[in-house]
Amino acid sequence: MTLEEFNDLGRQWQYEALLNCCSCEAWAARVPDGAPFESVDAVVESARNAWDKASENEVLEAFSGHPQIGDLEALRNQYANTASAEQGQVVEADETVLIRLRDQNKAYLEKFGFIFIVCATGKSAEEMLALLDERIGNSREEELVNGAREQMAITELRIRKMVEND
């Protein structure tokens, strides 16, 4: 949809659309406070401002909207055919990397009580595993901050995809 169409939705429909970008009801209710928006950047800015006010429970609510990475078959499907645009070749994720990624995701969930959140766009299985290995040693508080930052990055991508520039 265009920015004009988003502005014309009205508050309730904007809320519904925003929930598809981030599964936090209070956040989705706060973002339209900045409407009508003059640009997609203004929507993103309102989204960031609303996210900055998120409580721990709201952050965890947003995390719960993501699928848990624990299923080896889902990981295989996600990383089986990652094309490299520069080299024009298909790269397949190593099975041992996928198994470690699955196991580290389970360990992360057990340690912190929430799933590993990262903006995965453009990242290989190996890069995801390296990030997970790096972050699993953090405290719960650090990971709430890291996860919240990554959640906003994901949300921004989704908003920009949803509200196309005119």
What is the homologous superfamily of the domain 66-147 according to CATH? Oxo-4-hydroxy-4-carboxy-5-ureidoimidazoline decarboxylase (1.10.3330.10)
Question: What residue has token string 């997609």?
Answer: 40
Angle (CA) 13-18-19 rounded to 5° is 100
The predicted-structure confidence for 24-51, as pLDDT tens digits, reads as follows 999 999 999 999 999 999 999 999 999 9
Where does the chain have alpha helices with state H?
3-8, 11-19, 25-30, 40-52, 56-63, 72-79, 95-112, 125-135, 140-162
The predicted-structure confidence for 61-115, as pLDDT tens digits, reads as follows 999 998 776 566 766 666 554 433 322 222 457 889 889 999 999 999 999 999 9
Catalytic residues: 66
Question: What residue has token string 């520039």?
Answer: 165
> What residue segments make up the domains of the chain, in order of their start?
3-62+155-162, 66-147
Amino acid at 45: E
